[in-house]
Amino acid sequence: MISVREALDTILADVQPLGRERVALLQARSRSLAESVHATRNVPPFRNSAMDGYAVRADDIATADGDHSIRLRVLEVVAAGDVPTRAVEAGTATKIMTGALMPEGADAVVRVEDTAERDGVVTVQRGVKPGTNVRHPGEDMRLGDEVLSAGRILEPADIGLLASLGNATVLVRRRPEAAILATGDELVELGEPLAAGQIANSNAYTLAAAVEEAGAVPRILGIVRDTPETMHSAFSDAFRSDVVLSTGGVSMGTFDLVRGTLRDLGCVERFWKVAQKPGKPLSFNVRGSTPVFGLPGNPVSALVCFYLYVRPTLRAMLGIPQLHLPVVDAQLADDVKTSEGLTDFVRGVLEPNADGYRARVTGTQSSGALRSMSLGQGLIVSPPEMRILSRGSTVRVIKLGEESSIDAPF
């Protein structure tokens, strides 16, 4: 049996980024940027005021303070979007609004709060240093600077940055489409009643949601019965997608037909079984350049394998350099029995504390009990040589998501 690390290396060895497509700016949020972006202009494009106030020569008002104010003649009023018509000279000032182009000659802006204006003369009650309240061209982004790198997942601030450079469209990676097949004679579609021995097909939906969260596009192909004929036709259809995910049918049971079907359809199995729990029966195959994951049927096993192996594959296809989930250290709150010879991924709740995090195990660790993943936000990693993780020890935890806080931060 291969290790988790070997499995991951094997899977990622052949994955290539998909092609690129140009989309409208607002379609680009959460997409992977497919080129590095350089500033094609200075932002801000011109010297402008950071305050509503008066553009002055700092020298003129250097001596102004509480006891001694300075009077300047007001030349004109410049609003944002206006172009000043007069240069500021000794003894004069221009009334200016935030974002307005600075007049020639002025090197600072006094806030309106520190002035009083009457009959075209402004009285300044406080001196300022040269440069005060002045924004310089290129202060935010300088012409030619690389401001976003390829593989960046675009966030709202990035969208705004692209907008301030004037980009109406963006080049992004094509999203991988992942075909999802749920195999099993016991499975029932949502909304159908359960007869004896039947369960709802939850895996297809869990995986579709996880595929979307990873930035890819799910294509649910429905329930596939455990017969060679139905499996053949379902997988043949699935191979039209960029990635294939099936669940169930990869264990030792009489009706576990997935591996045989994949072999018949020209897939090359790179490995079957990984020294891990949950998720041991994972079968990984390739068909041409298409990765084909035979995920285990147990809901927790399928999702853990998704996070460990499928998510990085999808991200590699998206050209994202950061393939893996973040890992944090945490203090373990419980004693946990683990399996010698296997890497265990124990579902835990991560609680931030003064030292970092505390990890508490979520109830039953059955690989059928999906609630353990719904309750937890972390996978506590137990290396193969460990048989027990002791309460109080420091463990590594793979973070599955960020929790928002009930408490306001201030």
- Residue bearing tokens 């996880």: 210
Choose among Mg ion, ligand AMP, none what residue 296 binds, the Cβ cut-off being 5 to 8 Å by kind. ligand AMP
296 binds ligand AMP (CB under 6 A): yes
- For ligand AMP, the closer of residues 175 and 277 by Cβ is 277
- Listed ranges 16-24, 42-50, 200-208, 350-358: which one lies at the site for ligand AMP (CB under 6 A): 200-208
Instruction: Candidates 184, 278, 279, 299: give the one binding Mg ion (CB under 5 A).
Output: 184
- Listed ranges 139-147, 180-188, 262-270, 355-363: which one lies at the site for Mg ion (CB under 5 A): 180-188
| Residues sharing a CB contact under 8 Å with residue 374, sequence separation 6 or more, in sequence order | none
AA identity, residue 333:
A
281 binds Mg ion (CB under 5 A): no
Residue 311 Rama label (left phi>0; alpha psi -120 to 50; beta)? alpha
Cα gap 397→379, rounded to integer Å: 5
290 binds ligand AMP (CB under 6 A): no
Cα gap 44→142, rounded to integer Å: 9
Q: What 3-state class would DSSP assign to 261?
A: helix
- Residue bearing tokens 């002035």: 115
- Listed ranges 70-78, 138-146, 179-187, 259-267: which one lies at the site for ligand AMP (CB under 6 A): 179-187
Instruction: Candidates 127, 151, 215, 249: give the one binding ligand AMP (CB under 6 A).
Output: 249
User: Do residues 140 and 43 make contact, with C-beta atoms less than 8 angstroms apart?
Assistant: yes
Choose among ligand AMP, Mg ion, none what residue 298 binds, the Cβ cut-off being 5 to 8 Å by kind. ligand AMP
261 binds ligand AMP (CB under 6 A): no
Phi, psi of 329 (to 5 degrees): -85, 145
User: Do residues 92 and 68 make contact, with C-beta atoms less than 8 angstroms apart?
Assistant: no
Cα gap 289→291, rounded to integer Å: 6
- For ligand AMP, the closer of residues 46 and 271 by Cβ is 271
- For ligand AMP, the closer of residues 140 and 185 by Cβ is 185
Q: In what order do the strands lie in the sheet with 115-118?
A: 108-111, 53-56, 92-96, 70-78, 121-124, 115-118
- H/E element, 106: none
Instruction: Candidates 17, 176, 291, 299: give the one binding ligand AMP (CB under 6 A).
Output: 299
Contact mark string toward Mg ion, 242..261, x via CB under 5 A: ------xx------------
**Binding residue count for ligand AMP, defined by CB under 6 A:** 19
- Residue bearing tokens 């998720």: 279
- For ligand AMP, the closer of residues 130 and 253 by Cβ is 253
Contact mark string toward Mg ion, 293..332, x via CB under 5 A: ----x-----------------------------------
What b-and-e string marks burial along 136-165, b requiring 16 or more CB atoms within 10 Å of the CB? eebeebeeeeebbebbbbbeeebbebbebb
List of residues contacting ligand AMP (CB under 6 A):
182, 184, 186-187, 199, 201-204, 247-249, 251, 253, 296-299, 368
- For binding to Mg ion (CB under 5 A), which residues are involved? 184, 248-249, 297
